[in-house]
Chain A
Amino acid sequence: MKRKLITKKDAVIIAVITVVSAALLLAGKTFAVRGERAVISVDGKVYKEISLSSVSKKTQFSLDNGVVITAENGKIYFSQSDCRDKICVKTGEISKTGEAAVCAPNKTVIEIKGADRADSIITY
């Protein structure tokens, strides 16, 4: 059988990456602002929320799906993944509100969010 350049699986992965990136791009309007929280989602559910400003030393999170995520003060990144393309690891560190790193094969997304409004209510 002739090998296709793009298999169905590839198409799905590309579609997921495109869709997620487009959504995150639009969602994160203020790229210049340093983010407060990193939200790790697996399969559409929040796996963990990390306050990046309060991470004092390098902390690693090993997920069941073979992904390892590392958080440092103010930034976070995929440090390991068992996926084939390693796009997630190649994305490198993210730190600003609206930035995201995606591991499509493992359905894992890290997104940087701004400070929660509930933490920044001010009367004046």
Chain B
Amino acid sequence: MKIKKASAALAVTLVGLGVILCSCSRVNTENADAVPVIMGSTVSVDVYGSDKKENARLKEEAVEEIKRVDLVISKNNEQSELYKINQNSGKENKISDELLDYITETSGIYSVSNGRLSATSGALTELWGVDTEQFRLPEESEIQNALSLCDDSKIKITGEDALNTVFVPEGAIFNLGSVGKGIACDRAARVISQSGDCEGAVVSVGGSVAVLGSHEGSGVWKVGIRDPYGKSSDIFASLSVEECFISTSGNYEKKFEIDGKTYHHILDLKTGYPVENDLCAVTVAAKSGFESDALSTMCYVLGEEESKKILETYEAEAVFIYSDKKLSVTDGLKDKIEISNKDYTLK
């Protein structure tokens, strides 16, 4: 009898423990393994530090912050502030300080591109179906009409602080897609470094990466660059860098074929068509995610020669990846790049 009682008590204890443990660790593991999809991109945040609970908390806060940013700048999310403003073009719209900052910074950084990039590229990207990935080849007249709406000089901002309003001509559409992932990295990085007791962290929003602080006592992080001709997990080279933000723009990410011709998603606002040059992708390392994201797109559109001065202005470094697998690397990255796929060679 005694034994039975003891066994029963033990069984109850074990089941109880099991239930408690399951419920606890389910919460934890879900957070640890979850790969949220925000801004149409997979998001991952990894926080390094001795306090595991604090790491998990910071990770959660960073992911929440990225979700919040999405609700400000997403062009496709019907709940976002930008979406609502886009629905109301041709009228004055109230706008938050935060969104206004993103818009002015975006048209600011693109102002050196001679109109080949803009914060209001939405009319053209929607025409091509880039944002929804339902591509189509537009008529020439449609393209010309759309291009006239992609002009940042027509953005009118009035008021001060909380009373700000923004105006764009009817049909003009803000599109911060080329900087959004970088901005999300910036905001997540800010949350982690402001509130955090951690050693370091990695934030990745759809291939835009922030490496912050250190891990295992080392401040050097290895960031792989995806092989444009390989699978999504293949890299051809890696950069050993200290705290910075890295983004890549390439013609391999979104593309479609019509009548045997391949079109990709990076559009040139001078021609209204996808950029045609001998570049395959450009990777940029910069001091902010906004800059790395914007500059990688700008370098891809403008090409290496025109980009050099702009990169210097922002003290950013770049790897230009050409279609023939030749690489051109700016001085600051020359001793930091390690090429693992020997098909790629320096120019």
Contacts and interface: CB of A to CB of B under 8 A. Distances in A.
B226 A121 contact: no
Interface residues of A, number: 21
Interface in B27-83: 29, 32-33, 44, 46, 48
A54 B175 CA distance: 46
A123 B233 contact: no
A48 interface: no
A40 B235 CA distance: 30
A120 interface: yes
B233 A122 contact: yes
Contacts of A15: 10, 13-14, 17
Of A22, A27, A121, A123, chain B has the most CB atoms within 10 Å of the CB of A123
B272 interface: no
A103 to B, nearest CB: 19
A49 B55 CA distance: 20
Of B25, B207, B233, chain A has the most CB atoms within 10 Å of the CB of B25
B221 interface: yes
B253 A124 contact: yes
Interface stretch (A4-12, A71-79, A80-88): A4-12
A59 interface: no
Contacts of B13: 15
A18 interface: yes
A32 to B, nearest CB: 14
Contact of B202 (A6, A22, A121, A124): A121
Contacts of B211: 121
Contacts of A14: 10, 14
Interface residues of B, number: 42
A90 interface: no
Contact of B22 (A11, A26, A117, A124): A26
B168 interface: no
A29 B17 contact: no
Interface in B182-232: 202, 204, 207-209, 211, 215-216, 221-226, 232
A112 B158 CA distance: 58
B7 interface: yes
Contacts of A119: 222
B218 to A, nearest CB: 9
A123 B17 contact: no
22 contacts: A4-B3, A4-B6, A6-B3, A6-B6, A14-B14, A15-B13, A19-B17, A26-B29, A27-B29, A117-B44, A118-B46, A118-B48, A118-B216, A118-B221, A121-B221, A121-B222, A122-B204, A122-B207, A122-B235, A123-B208, A124-B225, A124-B250
Interface of B: 2-3, 6-7, 10, 13-14, 17-18, 21-22, 25-26, 29, 32-33, 44, 46, 48, 202, 204, 207-209, 211, 215-216, 221-226, 232-233, 235, 246-248, 250, 253, 283
Interface of A: 4-6, 11, 14-15, 18-19, 22-23, 26-27, 29, 117-124
Question: Which 4 residue pairs spanning A and B have beta carbons closest together?
Answer: A124-B207, A124-B226, A117-B46, A122-B224
